Amino acid sequence: MPANGVMVVDKPAGWTSHDVVARMRRLVGERSIGHLGTLDPMATGVLPLVLGRMTRLSQFYRASEKAYEGTIRLGLATDTYDCDGYPVGEPQEVKVTLEEVAAVASVFRGLISQTPPPFSAKKVKGVPAYKLARKKQEVELQPVEVEVKEFAILGLDGDLVEFRSRVSSGTYLRSLAHELGQKLGVGAHLASLRRTAVAEFTLEQSHTLEQVAEAVGQGRLEELLVHPRRVLPEIPSVTADDEAVGKIRHGRSLNLPEMSRSKFVKVFAGQAELICIASRVAGTLFHPKVVLL
């Protein structure tokens, strides 16, 4: 039976996001699987996967807010801006206070211009930057505007800074750590990172790959999927009758009088089967934009 749904995986350290997708494909026997936002190999935490027909919802998550918690080690910069890289320059003595770190961190809140790390998936003339960086070729990445909604410094233990952050899509926490070290004058790199949320998906909903494997073996994979009614909560829902389902199946528009103020509508057949995302054409007339039948 095809696997269709959204599953939140707690990505383990040392795995790429692609590794997790490949493992999930083998576990559930479904080729059509994607993820909603790459996590670096050293990072752990929330990696939402879309399975089967639900991969068609990926377009609604391209600008999703993300939340993290982690640590930054002061006193040493690395070429990757994280603990997987090689040191850049000599280690620096760290003599900063929690108040000083918090004051510098406040500079990064709001809309900022951020240069992605040289070891990143950002493309330079069609080639991922990390491939050029590994060949010791010069990488010139253009700054992009991102939004740091929260960058809270929670503690300082020696040279280790504990933080919590909420950021817009495309923000690199590695760059935040690197630039924090630059402004403090001691250098820094991201020591650990755990993603706690992507859009509406949280750690509380997540499952380890071991838990997924166990559920597959017991024939209860569906229990681990996010209930379709909890997907895209900002879009209102309607339950379609048989006539409306027939129209959607054939790509025809339908009239939804109670949804005249909405741009998009989630259309369900029964309580748990999401059959389409419809977009408003005019007035109360909606056209199937993404059909999941």
Catalytic residues: 40
- The CA-atom distances, in angstroms, between 250 and each of 27, 56, 169, 265 are 33, 17, 35, 18
Pairing of strands 285-291, 273-282: antiparallel
Backbone Cα Rg of the chain: 22
Distance separating alpha carbons of residues 265 and 288, to the nearest angstrom: 9
Strand (E) positions, 65-143?
66-74, 77-78, 87-88, 110-114, 123-124, 127-128
DSSP helix/strand/coil, 162: strand
Identify whether the C-beta of residue 151 lies closer than 8 Å to the C-beta of residue 165: yes
Strand (E) positions, 4-109?
5-11, 33-35, 44-51, 66-74, 77-78, 87-88
Closest CA to 234 of 255, 261, 264: 264
107-111: long-range contacts (C-beta < 8 A, 24 or more apart)? Answer: 107/183, 108/148, 108/151, 108/176, 108/179, 108/180, 109/148, 109/149, 109/150, 109/151, 110/147, 110/148, 111/145, 111/146, 111/147
DSSP helix/strand/coil, 199: coil
